[in-house]
């Protein structure tokens, strides 16, 4: 197989089948002859569609450098497209104190996955050890943190755990 394929391509309805409309050269790139031929016809259709109105499907004739003659039907296929039809910014997090342990908050809120200095305005923290010792936050507490923190306390040394996080 040569390092590239040269294809002569024309519409099947053309009156002059020996006068190709396009000459397309493609690198073989590990593809088989039929795949290259199909790709050449698709490229010709893409070029033709930019310069004229085509009624789909369109039949092409393709002649490769080895003298093989192909009939290829090309159709316009619409790929699924996703378009945002609305967007709305959600309200900011209400101010709360979170339980912070090993770089994470007990509520596991994704908005608080970075360092506390980068958290949204109004978000504060207390350590799991402070929670375990019964400290009360200054301000509203994160109810999800207060629900999840008791399970984490069990992992603390002196509170039923080994301190290894196990």
Q: Which pLDDT band holds residue 48 (cuts at 50, 70, 90)?
A: confident
Q: Looking at residue 164, what is its pLDDT?
A: 47
The more confident residue out of 78 and 119 is 119
Contacts of the segment 132-140: beta carbons below 8 A, 24+ positions apart: 132/156, 132/159, 137/97, 138/97, 139/95, 139/96, 139/97, 140/94, 140/95, 140/96, 140/97
Share of the chain above pLDDT 90, in %: 24
Q: Looking at residue 165, what is its pLDDT?
A: 44
In 3D space, the residue among 73, 79, 107 whose CA is nearest the CA of residue 93 turns out to be 107
Compute the distance between CA of residue 20 and CA of residue 152 in angstroms, rounded to an integer: 75
Reported pTM: 0.49
């Amino acid at each position: 197989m040569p390092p590239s394929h040269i294809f002569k391509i024309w519409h099947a309805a053309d009156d002059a089948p020996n006068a190709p409309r396009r000459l397309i050269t493609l690198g073989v790139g590990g593809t088989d002859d039929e795949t290259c031929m199909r790709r050449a016809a698709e490229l010709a259709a893409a070029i033709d569609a930019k310069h004229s109105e085509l009624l789909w499907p369109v039949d092409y004739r393709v002649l490769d450098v080895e003298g093989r003659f192909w009939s290829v039907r090309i159709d316009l296929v619409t790929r699924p497209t996703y378009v945002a039809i609305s967007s709305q910014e959600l309200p900011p997090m209400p101010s709360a104190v979170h339980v912070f342990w090993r770089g994470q908050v007990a509520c596991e809120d994704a908005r608080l996955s970075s360092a506390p200095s980068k958290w949204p305005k109004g978000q504060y923290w207390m350590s799991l050890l402070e929670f375990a010792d019964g400290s009360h936050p200054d301000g509203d507490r994160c109810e999800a943190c207060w629900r999840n923190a008791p399970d984490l306390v069990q992992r603390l040394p002196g509170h039923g755990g080994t301190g290894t996080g196990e």
